[in-house]
Amino acid sequence: MTVATDDLAEMAPDRPAPVLNRTRPYYWSVRRELWENRSLHIAPLAVAAVALLGFMISTIGMPERRRGVLALDPVRQVIDVSQPYDFVAVAIIFTMGIVAVTYCLGALHGERRDRSVLFWKSLPISDLTTVLAKATVPFVVLPVIAIGVILAMQLLMLVWSFFVLLLSGVNPFTPLPLAQMAVVLVYGLVTQILWQAPVYGWLLLVSAWARRAPFLWAVLPPLALCMLEKVAFNTHYLATVLGHRLGGGHSEAFVTSTHLAVHKGTPHFPVLGVADLDPAKFLSSPALWVGLVICAACLAGCVWFRRRREPI
């Protein structure tokens, strides 16, 4: 017995057409980057594990050192106690920067080299979605991972030192302004990422364009331009601009500088508080917005190259 197609259509209940969520391709593209690049979280965790082991070993003589610290003035107490916490934060942020540079240089170049770009292009995912997903890693994913690892590390260090001092009969309460340190950490990383946005955009653009050795293509042209300026005009404006951009823009984001300072002959990282934040100055900096425009242009170039460049 056969049933006509029109009869089947009449028998089937009316069902709304499925609605395609436009954010799903972007979401799964970001998930794909996390699956394919395990170093994004393994590297910060490895550095954190080494730093935590070193901190535990250093607590062998912590009670004696803490007794000496408690005899100092309050400013010096905060400086001495905060040094291990600052070192851990700087080490993880530095690792995040290395991972971000490595990832950006291989993000679009690697899929052309192993020809997996042919498979990904066969899926209903636009080049714009793919590029935005890859740009999300250095701009969002890595900073979030770094913040989470740093805060977890500092909490473990605080708990460990608390019990070591408590069992030794020393006052275990630390003079650290932990809440302010967390605020400064988040603010500092956000401003650093925004300030260095054109750097990451340039690296992604080179990754989408270069056929071989993307690292050399990313580094040699700026160096050549700096050398040309120095030889031709005996100036170093471009080198100054590049150095300021790579430095993270701390002088624009903070009232004080985060470079190493010296207190009574001992180098240390200055302990910054909420009063040292200067978001108005940072957001009103023309260099910030010029850099963001350059980053947007680089990402647009990435979309263009990914659409037209052939596999290697």
Q: CA–CA separation, 49 vs 227, rounded Å? A: 41
- Total domain count, the chain: 1
Residue 93 included in any domain: yes
Q: Is residue 92 part of a domain?
A: yes
Task: Classify residue 147: in a domain, yes or no.
Answer: yes
Say if 32 falls within a structural domain.
no
Q: For 218, phi and psi rounded to 5 degrees?
A: -80, -30
Answer whether residue 5 is part of any domain: no
Domain annotation covers residue 105: yes
Give the pLDDT confidence of 271-301 residue by residue, as tens digits: 677 788 888 989 999 999 999 999 999 999 9
For 50-82, the pLDDT digits (tens) are 998 988 888 787 777 777 766 666 677 777 777
Question: Alpha carbon 94 to chain centroid distance?
Answer: 9
Dihedral pair phi/psi, residue 298, rounded to 5°: -65, -40
Domain range holding 209? Answer: 37-308
* Of 87 and 257, more confident: 87
pTM across the whole model: 0.83
Residue 222 lies in a domain: yes
> Is the residue at 182 inside a domain?
yes
